[in-house]
């Protein structure tokens, strides 16, 4: 240890940089290399590198001087470290973030609360998170007054931040926090459409997390039974991420679900959704028409909204007046008038559409057709020279026509106003880093060969660190598109088929096409036979 103090003492005692460099040279010369000296040297280099990294994120150094400071750090590392530590502590003391007692606790290495506070300023960029209310105000700046209260709140806030941040970093689309009923809460993430339990938290902490999320989302904390909704924002190093929050009273307590509306990754383009080039071309052609209606259908969680936004992304917002009605607005689109449905304020899809039609739009986007009135108005709009994009909950392309008839739309109206129906499913994509050839049974091999596919191209999931041991990473869409051609128009116009027949025909046709599209992706090594079976049999 003696050498370490000597080095520090000799450097501290000298003024100009050249003298310091000379002194460092002397010291190096006087070192006869032995194990202790090598260890000291390694420790010195480590501290130098550590300081250089610290400097890069220190708020005390202006960006312009950061590279210069890094060079200094690499040379004089540990000294700068001491100076920065003292400066950091002084700033925190002045801002009242910590007390003298915290520093003492920190120095003696048992500052649970203090330590976390001290780390706040030196977090890695991927660990940085701030929770803001929907107006962008930092809500948790001054929680609690008393020391004990503050410590408890700090712990809750740390857990809340972790739950939110890990959700974002883990590519979750939803975070579910629900009471287990035995004095604990479970936190689950929905990743690529599948739920995973990620952690359990104690009852007290769970309630604390639920309350802090409700508070920041502008929800009434005292209301524990009635379903409420709200929203908040998380600021991470890449930008802001928006959350939509819903609460409901369940057996054993209160449940929260957080939908992550990711503004950071942005909207996908039409060819990034996983749609084949031919189908993309058909959709683009439909989008260029001045009028007509394009309906995307599929069950819940089939990626209809993502495709809807991808289609909107193809439209030039400057030359065409675009108005949307959505529930909720998932992406903010520049130069587009977006209306959010709000049942409490009596803003529904139907009455929004009525007001939109008075604004002379070119393109109207209806988030979801749920009732006859909305369906009727959307088709009327298409009929009177607007391009209408919409989603509908149904199982296949022809089943969509049946569903429209169920909603009271006349077949003739559909024949003249509908231009494209697209049905969609999402399958999980195989992880590129660990996928391997699959072992298939004789029956499957036989079945694939009969359909003209090569069974040796089928891959299976394995699981690695990159995909969280699931074998899957990301999702891709299976899409079947139907153009309303003369044949279908004749069927519709002549009412040659009964509703039941049409639905049956539609389901078997849709299943066939989606399955074929799925098998094509299996052959390309993008997904597995199980995934295709999982989503296509749900047509049922
Ligand atoms: Zn993997």
pLDDT tens per residue across span 56-70: 766 667 767 777 777
> Residue 200: what pLDDT?
92
What pLDDT sits at residue 111?
39
First to last CA, the chain: 75
Using the mean position of ligand 1's atoms as its centre, give its distance from the Cα of residue 455 in Å.
Answer: 22
pLDDT at 57: 66
How far is residue 210's CA from residue 184's CA, in Å, rounded to a whole number?
Answer: 12
Q: d(Cα 362, Cα 288) in Å, to the nearest integer?
A: 11
* The pLDDT of residue 79 is above 90: no
Tokens encoding 212: 């802090």
What pLDDT does residue 78 have? 64
- Average pLDDT score, the chain: 82
pLDDT in tens, 241-298: 889 899 988 888 899 999 988 655 667 888 888 898 999 999 999 999 999 999 999 9
Starting from the edge strand earliest in sequence, which strands make up the sheet with 418-430, in order?
A: 337-340, 322-326, 363-369, 387-392, 292-297, 418-430, 472-483
Expressed in angstroms and rounded, the spacing between residue 525 Cα and the centre of ligand 1 is 14
Q: Is the alpha carbon torsion for 316, 320, 321, 324 positive or negative?
A: negative
Compute, in angstroms, the gap from residue 473 CA to the centroid of ligand 1: 7
Q: Which residue has the higher pLDDT, 494 or 498?
A: 494
**pLDDT tens digits for range 18-70:** 776 676 667 666 656 678 888 888 888 887 777 777 777 666 677 677 777 77
Q: Calculate how far, in angstroms, residue 465's C-alpha sits from the geometric centre of ligand 1.
A: 6
Q: Give residue 119's pLDDT band: very low, low, confident or very high (50, 70, 90).
A: very low
Q: What are residue 322's DSSP bridge partners?
A: 363
Distance 462 CA to ligand 1 centre (A): 7
CA of 106 to the centre of ligand 1 (A): 40
Instruction: Give yes or no for a contact between 322 and 362, defined as CB atoms under 8 angstroms apart.
Output: yes
Task: Return the pLDDT at 30.
Answer: 65
Query: Given a cut of 50, is residue 118 above it in pLDDT?
Result: no
What integer pLDDT is reported at residue 1 of this predicted model?
A: 42
> pTM here?
0.65
What is the reported pLDDT for 147?
Answer: 56
**Taking the CB of residue 356, how many other CB atoms lie within 10 A of it?**
21
3-state secondary structure of 232: strand
pLDDT digits (tens, 9 = 90+) for 131-183: 888 777 776 664 544 455 666 688 888 999 999 999 998 888 899 999 987 78
Whether the bond between 328 and the residue before it is cis, its omega within 30 degrees of 0, is yes
Q: Which domains can be identified in the chain, with CATH numbers? A: 32-106 (no CATH), 126-261 (3.30.450.90), 270-539 (3.40.50.300)
- Report how far residue 312's alpha carbon sits from residue 336's, in angstroms, rounded to the nearest whole number: 10
Instruction: Assess whether pLDDT exceeds 70 at residue 101.
Output: no
């Amino acid at each position: 240890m003696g050498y370490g103090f000597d080095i520090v003492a000799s450097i501290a005692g000298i003024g100009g940089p050249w003298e310091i460099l000379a002194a460092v040279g002397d010291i190096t010369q006087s070192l006869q290399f032995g194990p202790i000296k090598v260890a000291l040297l390694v420790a010195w280099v480590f501290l130098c590198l550590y300081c250089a990294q610290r400097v890069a994120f220190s708020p005390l150094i202006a960006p312009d001087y950061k590279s210069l400071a890094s060079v200094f750090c690499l040379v004089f590392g540990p000294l700068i470290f001491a100076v920065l530590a003292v400066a950091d502590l002084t700033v925190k003391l002045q801002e009242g973030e910590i007390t003298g007692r915290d520093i003492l606790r920190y120095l003696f290495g048992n500052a649970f609360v203090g330590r976390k506070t001290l780390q706040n300023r030196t977090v890695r960029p991927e660990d940085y998170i701030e929770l803001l209310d929907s107006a962008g105000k930092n809500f948790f700046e001054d929680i609690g007054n008393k020391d004990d209260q503050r410590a408890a709140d700090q712990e809750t806030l740390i857990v809340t931040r972790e739950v939110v941040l890990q959700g974002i970093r883990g590519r979750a689309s939803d975070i579910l926090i629900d009471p287990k009923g035995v004095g604990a809460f479970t936190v689950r993430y929905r990743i690529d459409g599948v739920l995973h339990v990620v952690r359990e938290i104690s009852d007290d902490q769970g309630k604390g997390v639920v309350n802090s999320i409700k508070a920041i989302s502008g929800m009434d904390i005292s209301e524990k039974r009635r379903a409420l909704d709200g929203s908040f924002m998380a600021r991470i190093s890449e930008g802001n991420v928006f959350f939509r929050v819903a609460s409901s009273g369940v057996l054993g307590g209160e449940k929260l679900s957080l939908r992550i509306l990711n503004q950071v990754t942005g909207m996908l383009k039409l060819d990034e959704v996983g749609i084949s080039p031919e189908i993309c071309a058909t959709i683009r052609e439909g989008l260029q028409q001045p009028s007509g209606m394009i309906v995307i259908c599929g069950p819940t969680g089939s990626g209809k909204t993502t495709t809807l936004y991808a289609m909107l992304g193809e439209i030039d917002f400057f030359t065409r007046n675009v108005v949307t009605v959505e529930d909720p607005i998932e992406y903010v689109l520049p130069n587009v008038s977006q209306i959010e449905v709000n049942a409490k304020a009596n803003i529904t899809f139907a009455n929004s559409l009525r007001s939109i039609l008075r604004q002379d739009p070119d393109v109207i986007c209806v988030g979801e057709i749920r009732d006859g009135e909305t369906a009727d108005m959307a088709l009327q709009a298409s009929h009177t020279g607007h391009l209408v994009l919409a989603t509908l909950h149904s199982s296949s392309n022809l089943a969509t026509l049946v569903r429209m008839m169920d909603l009271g739309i006349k077949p003739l109206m559909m024949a003249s106003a509908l231009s494209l129906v697209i049905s969609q499913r999402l399958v999980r994509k195989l992880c590129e880093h660990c996928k391997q050839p699959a072992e298939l049974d004789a029956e499957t091999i036989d079945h694939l060969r009969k359909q003209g596919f090569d069974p040796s191209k089928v891959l299976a999931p394995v699981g690695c660190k990159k995909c969280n041991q699931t074998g899957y990473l990301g999702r891709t869409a299976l899409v079947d598109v139907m153009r309303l051609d003369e044949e279908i128009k004749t069927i519709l116009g002549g009412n040659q088929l009964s509703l039941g027949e049409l639905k049956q025909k539609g389901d078997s046709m849709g299943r066939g096409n989606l399955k074929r599209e799925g098998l094509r992706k299996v052959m390309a090594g993008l997904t597995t036979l199980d995934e295709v079976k999982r989503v296509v049999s749900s047509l049922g």
